[in-house]
Chains A and B, each alone.
Chain A
Amino acid sequence: MSLIEVKNLEKIYSDGVETPALQGVSFNIEKGEFVAIMGPSGSGKSTLLHVLGFLDHPTKGEYRFEGKTLADYSKKEIAQIRNKKLGFIFQMFNLLSRTSVLENVKLPLIYSDVKESLWNELSLKAIEQVGLSHRINYETNQLSGGEKQRVAIARALINNPSVIFADEPTGNLDSKSGGQIMEIIEALNNHGQTIILITHETYTAEYSQRIIKLKDGAIESDEKVLERKHIHKDHFVK
């Protein structure tokens, strides 16, 4: 059983006019894989991410996560899956402003069943993992873009998810900060974390093991990366 199984996935937006966003997409993703989903804007990669992240329903086709389909879950269970099994990293960071780094990282825990006495310890550990221990009590609006994205990564990590979705994580960063972010993501994958990275940049996608290219809502190619880049060897260049 694969972690993620997608079969003939279709998504049609019907806002008066019917707009097909995904047209028969199929693939599997194994536990521990680092997959990049690429494509120009309008290719359906964001829609795919939303469906995979339980934020949206497919119109047709099947999506199995850990062997179960979306229809098997109640609304409350879906919220629990988002909380425990999925981690999100967004292009726009989506942090709570005027709130400390610690509180931001802690946020998923308040919706979880993790004991409150463990919250600080878990948060501090996640913050340490992204190298922001010196910024714990800073408010997020005092941080640089790269630091903000590291807070978002720590937040995504906090519940030890089965998969992390990263939606253009370096899109708003300069190449130095972008490199640091990719280094962290790569390190997470090396420790066995499943990563699904959405990007339109080839140089970012090449850090993954496998690239799925989308065009007009369909898979154009699904190939292993032969010459995989590594932060330590090749510098991250935008």
Chain B
Amino acid sequence: MTLKNALKTSVRGLKTNRSRSFLTILGIVIGITAIILVMSLGQGAQDLILGQIQSIGSKTISVVPGRHPTGISDSLSTFTDSIKNKDVEDLQKKSNVPHLSRIMPIVFGSETATRGNKIHQTTIFGVNNFFAEIYDIYPEEGRLFSDEEISSKAEVIIIGSKTKEKLFDSDEEALGQKIKIKNQSLRIIGILPKKGQFSFISFDDAVIMPHTAAQQYIFGIKYYNRLVVEADSEQNVDRTVEDIKTTIRNNHNITDPEKDDFFIETQAQAMEMVGTILNVLTLFLAAIAAISLVVGGVGIMNIMLVSVTERTHEIGLRKAIGATEKNILVQFLLEAILLTLLGGVIGIILGAGFSFLASLALTKFAGLNWGFTFPISAALLGLGVSAAVGLIFGIYPARQAARKDPIEALRYE
């Protein structure tokens, strides 16, 4: 018997029991829908987050004090005070790092801001004016710092939208007012727009001030928590990383790179890491969804066994007119695989549909730039998995059918 006729026979078998066939595949439909939905949304989330990281700039390089952790017992806190102002000055010299276009030292920490009897737990960022360009966020009201304010350790701050909400009544003017952090009076010269909670880096509940002032008045330190360096082009990132390393090692009298008291993170590394985490998370969720496929498969096996018993007569007849055991096996196995494949196709359509609706809803109601991509690899996986489910759970009923004794089968009432 040719495969084409075997397929025809199986399709006819399924068609005579339309409603049951549909109910049988429901488990597979739900399982595949869930997998496609999870994988598609996972892809969307990944695109969104990576897009945000990228918007910070792929030319950005971070210099972090301390040794790169090599294991659990390795403490991150060693040498956390290693990056000082001398390093910033040396990095700015063209002779040391020719392709550096901007450098921003950062100090940060959590502090309590007060105004009258209002209290807000905030994150203080001590930066220079490059923060606005690097993170693409500019004051909605007021202004950025002046160079003079940065160098003179002026007691001025730019606050995030949430910090304003917490410390001021809604009808109060915040610009020009003063708030207190660590008993230091700080004047508000700018207010940042609301960026939303899904943003990768949120300044909503932050207080931003000149790094010089933050070092002196708030944290009482003479080192930086991080340097953000921007290369003049993406091609020069790798070279700039090497130049930075050489400069700082010279500064710190380090000859053995193993003993570096700082390490460097590039945007590419960060993206790779986030991508890996999201992939693992997506696969984990998809694996949970896959459990429902096993349940669906057991359902298929169950119904196929009922079907084999019900069609004992038909099996007997087919054998009496010349069907071999293999013919019968193939017929019932194909029926199971066609069922699960059909379920897989419906599941892929539904999953992609729901994912599309979700992307519309996320874009419209959560204000996210959430793109919908049809997960082709997930769809192919879904098809493969559903066919495999049909094969695995269809083989037992099909063998039962093939082994039926034609006389018993013909006698069966």
Contact = CB atoms under 8 A, between A and B. Distances in A.
A88 B324 contact: no
Given A110-B1, A110-B5, A111-B1, A94 B410 contact: yes
Given A56-B407, A90-B410, A94-B410, A112 B12 contact: no
B322 interface: yes
B234 interface: no
A142 to B, nearest CB: 14
Nearest to A90: B410
B318 A107 contact: yes
Contacts of A202: none
Nearest to A78: B324
A83 interface: yes
B98 interface: no
Interface stretch (A35-43, A62-70, A95-103, A188-196): A95-103
B307 to A, nearest CB: 14
Given A90-B410, A96-B314, A111 B323 contact: yes
A31 B318 CA distance: 26
A79 B322 contact: yes
Contact of B321 (A56, A99, A155): A155
B92 interface: no
B322 A84 contact: yes
Interface range, B side: 20 to 34
Contacts of A146: none
Given A56-B407, A94-B410, A99-B16, A111 B322 contact: yes
A55 B324 contact: no
B271 to A, nearest CB: 58
B322 to A, nearest CB: 2
Contacts of B12: 99, 103
Contacts of B406: 55
B16 A75 contact: no
Contacts of B2: 116
A82 B320 contact: yes
Contacts of B313: 94
Contacts of B324: 75-76, 79, 111
Nearest to B323: A111
B321 A83 contact: yes
Contacts of B1: 110-111
A108 B321 contact: yes
Contacts of A75: 324-325
B322 A83 contact: yes
A171 B28 CA distance: 46
A91 to B, nearest CB: 10
Contacts of B320: 53, 55, 82, 88, 94
Contacts of A90: 317, 410
Interface string B179-223: 000000000000000000000000000000000000000000000
A111 B406 CA distance: 16
A177 interface: no
B91 to A, nearest CB: 80
A78 to B, nearest CB: 9
A50 interface: yes
B410 A82 contact: no
Contacts of B321: 82-83, 88, 107-108, 111, 155
A129 interface: no
Interface string B372-413: 000000000000000000000000000000000011001000
The 9 closest A-B CB pairs, nearest first, are: A83-B322, A111-B322, A79-B324, A108-B321, A94-B317, A98-B16, A110-B5, A82-B322, A55-B406
9 contacts: A50-B407, A76-B324, A79-B324, A80-B322, A83-B321, A88-B320, A88-B321, A96-B317, A155-B321
